[in-house]
Amino acid sequence: MRIVHTPQELGEPYGAGPPRAVVPTMGALHEGHAANIRAARALLPPGGQVIVTVYVNPLQFGAGEDFDRYPRTLQADARVAEAAGADVIFAPSDALMYPSGEPLVRLSAGPMGEPLEGATRPGHFDGMLTVVAKLLHLTAPRYAMFGEKDAQQVALVRRMVADLNFPVEIVAVPTVREEDGLALSSRNRYLNAAERRTALALSRALFAARDRLSAEAALADRAAAGRAPFGDRAQALAALHEERASADAAALAAATAVRTGSAASARAAAHTVLTEAAGLNPPLDLDYLALVDPATFREVPDTHTGEAIMAVAAKVGTTRLIDNTRLTLGAPR
């Protein structure tokens, strides 16, 4: 495996050589990145080239964010990339990426870039799309891999290549998690042990929403099959092994108005976990919990049925983390 710094060193330019798959990263590689690299390898025919880009893009960081302290670990990254099956790391310089300094012309993410990450990090997605466009020009891949952990990012990249006719297929890779559920992230290395315990609330909130929906669906199926109903709603969810049921049984018992499989139900389950984590030491400082339409990243109404993305962002100490999961909201029963 080679580390190169210019597009010329990548070999045949602009699609003339064997097909390429690119994995754009900011380095500090972990198993999540490795999954992207393995997925890239699996897509290519023999002789194809897997390129991992490593570039900490100043344009997508706001003032006061962690650009300066972001981990830069190129030699260790090379070992992870090679073990996962990459052929080359492309680590461009600032001078190559931004030859005239801060670019006067840049891409605009538009309305899908405004909520959630876009609201907390103004300009982040314009900077991200601008660098991704440049990396795609420089590497000329057939495929480009992006993690579902950054759900709004991959949705925006898909729109960019569709709206601007980029000749590349965007491939989304499922989120890799630690055994206890924490989504792998380069920023996890900022966490001490106590902060890491608090940070677990992000994934636990998402799982609580998912479990609530599946417990409610099972409950409705049971009723539809004519089997005896449980004593009350809380008892029913507990019997169906919903993780949170015992902790918020009272709230559930009172929540008779909550429709089976509804957005409100999912939001309530997640908020129970996040509220509890706000009282931990150190506390979880919630930025947002959102249940959004995957096509717009706008909040879905309580009447929404079908696919939705539940996304969460929070700070623990000085570290800001994000996570998300896909949920299917049921029709009213």
Ligand X SMILES: Nc1ncnc2c1ncn2[C@@H]1O[C@H](COP(=O)(O)OP(=O)(O)OP(=O)(O)O)[C@@H](O)[C@H]1O
Cβ pair 285, 318 in contact under 8 A:
no
Which residue in 49, 127, 328 sits closest to 216, CA to CA? 328
What's phi and psi for 188, nearest 5 deg?
Answer: -60, -25
Residue 132 interacting entry, from ligand X, ligand PAF, ligand BAL, none, C-beta within 5 to 8 Å by type? ligand PAF
Helix (H, G, I), strand (E, B) or coil at 156: helix
- Options 147-155, 163-171, 287-295, 303-311: segment touching ligand X (CB under 6 A): 147-155
Count of other CB atoms within 10 angstroms of residue 223: 15
C-beta closer to ligand PAF: residue 49 or 60: 60
What's phi and psi for 103, nearest 5 deg?
Answer: -70, 140
Judge whether 5 counts as a catalytic residue. no
190 binds ligand X (CB under 6 A): no
183 binds ligand X (CB under 6 A): yes
Residue-by-residue DSSP string for 27-96: S---HHHHHHHHHHHHHSPTT-EEEEEE---GGGPPTTSSTTTS---HHHHHHHHHHHT-SEEE---HHH
Footprint on residues 42-81 left by ligand BAL (CB under 6 A): 60
C-beta closer to ligand PAF: residue 27 or 115: 27
Residue 260 interacting entry, from ligand BAL, ligand X, ligand PAF, none, C-beta within 5 to 8 Å by type? none
Residue 175 interacting entry, from ligand PAF, ligand BAL, ligand X, none, C-beta within 5 to 8 Å by type? ligand X
176 binds ligand X (CB under 6 A): yes
187 is in an annotated binding site: yes
Convert 177-209 to b/e letters by CB count within 10 Å (16 or more is b): eeeeebbbbbbbebbeeebbbbbbbbbbbbbbb
Which residue in 85, 22, 17, 9 sits closest to 51, CA to CA? 22
The Cα 177–Cα 184 span in angstroms is 5
149 is in an annotated binding site: yes
The Cα 201–Cα 277 span in angstroms is 6
Catalytic annotation, pick one of 33, 137, 241, 304: 33
The Cα 274–Cα 291 span in angstroms is 14
216 binds ligand BAL (CB under 6 A): no
Q: Which of 185, 203, 272, 325 binds ligand X (CB under 6 A)?
A: 185
Dihedral sign from CA coordinates of 77, 80, 82, 86: negative
C-beta closer to ligand BAL: residue 77 or 150: 150
- For the purposes of burial, counting CB atoms within 10 Å of the CB of 257, is it exposed (0-12), middle (13-18) or buried (19 or more)? exposed
**Total residues at the site for ligand X (CB under 6 A)?**
18
28 is in an annotated binding site: yes
Least distance from ligand PAF to the Cβ atom of residue 308, Å:
22
Least distance from ligand PAF to the Cβ atom of residue 52, Å:
10
Dihedral sign from CA coordinates of 184, 189, 190, 191: positive
Cβ pair 156, 133 in contact under 8 A:
no
Q: Which of 150, 248, 287, 323 binds ligand BAL (CB under 6 A)?
A: 150
Cβ pair 24, 135 in contact under 8 A:
yes
121 binds ligand X (CB under 6 A): no
147 is in an annotated binding site: yes
148 is in an annotated binding site: yes
Q: Which of 87, 117, 150, 248 binds ligand X (CB under 6 A)?
A: 150
- Which residues contact ligand PAF by CB under 6 A? 24-26, 57, 60, 128, 131-132, 150, 153
Which residue ranges make up the site for ligand X (CB under 6 A)?
25-26, 32-33, 35-36, 146-147, 149-150, 173, 175-176, 183-187
Annotation: binding site? 26-33, 60, 147-150, 153, 176, 184-187
Any idea which residues carry the catalytic annotation? 33
Annotation: binding site for (R)-pantoate? 60, 153
Which residue ranges make up the site for ligand BAL (CB under 6 A)?
60, 150
